[in-house]
Amino acid sequence: MTGAEFITYIKAKLNRLDTSAYEDIRPEEVLLFANEALKTLVLEFDKGRYSALIDEKVIGGYLNTLIVTEPEADITNNEFTYPSTVLKYRDIDAYVVAGDEEAWRPADDKSRTNKADKEDNPMTKSYPDRPDYRIEDGKVKFDVDDTFNVTKYASTYLKFPDIILSESTLSYPFMTELENKTVTLLLENLDSRRLETQPTVSKM
């Protein structure tokens, strides 16, 4: 199936739901939500969330095409720029220097933890044997104190899947899931737009 054929198929599925309501869907809208659906599915698959009808080995094989292992690299000020190719970090190892000791240590993502709370709570504090990092302001920042620093990192991550274009050839082993997710996202967006354009009284 080509991207253009995918667009036609998605529009046909929408029109079967309501011929008049979805006839003005533009091809670029279908592609926009198809790409969002693909990213969402990749993240769900990586967490082991997929239908029992999908072969686990097939999904594993697809994910392997997106896994990138970065070689070690030096960093400054305990941080490095978040690469634009990264969809999700799977693992980050930090080279920790604590006094006379130096070693590679696994790092934990604490991006959703309030930094002030972490500093006051010994249970969530970043330690040299397992330093924490957070993703903010386009950077990956390691939480350190005056007892240790992080001077290098190495990582494994999921890269963004190739963008679906009208001329793309689509041969995903989860085409049904991609179609369903695309339709769902389109419906959610369209319903939201309709609600926003209704008079205030009708929303009550």
* pLDDT band, very low/low/confident/very high, at 204 (cuts 50, 70, 90): very low
Cα dist from 177 to 41, 78, 180, whole Å: 8, 40, 5
Residue 75 burial (CB count, 10 A)? 20
Sketch the domain layout of the chain as residue ranges: 3-63+161-203, 68-159
- Residue-wise pLDDT tens digits, 34-58: 999 999 999 999 999 988 888 999 9
Q: If you count them, how many residues does the chain have?
A: 204
Percent of the chain at pLDDT exceeding 90: 75
- Measured CA to CA, the distance from residue 180 to residue 184 in angstroms comes to 6
Q: Which of 2-6, 111-115, 125-129, 184-188 has the highest mean pLDDT?
A: 2-6
Q: What does 96-156 look like in DSSP terms, one character per residue?
A: EEETTEEEEEE-EE-TTS-HHHHHH-TTT--BTTB-EEEEETTEEEEE--TT-EEEEEEEE
pLDDT of residue 24: 79
117, 115, 116, 142: which is closest to 131 by C-alpha? Answer: 142
Quote the DSSP letter at residue 79: E
> What pTM was computed for the model?
0.83
- 118 contacts: CB under 8 Å, gap ≥ 6: 110, 124, 125, 126, 132, 143
Compute, in degrees rounded to 10, the torsion defined by CA atoms 55, 61, 67, 72: 120
195, 177, 154: which is closest to 37 by C-alpha? Answer: 177
- Measured CA to CA, the distance from residue 170 to residue 174 in angstroms comes to 10
- Residue-wise pLDDT tens digits, 72-109: 999 999 999 999 999 999 999 999 999 999 999 999 99
Beta-bridged to residue 179, according to DSSP, are none
pLDDT of residue 113: 59
pLDDT of residue 197: 45
- Residue-wise pLDDT tens digits, 151-198: 999 999 999 999 999 999 999 999 999 999 999 999 998 876 554 444
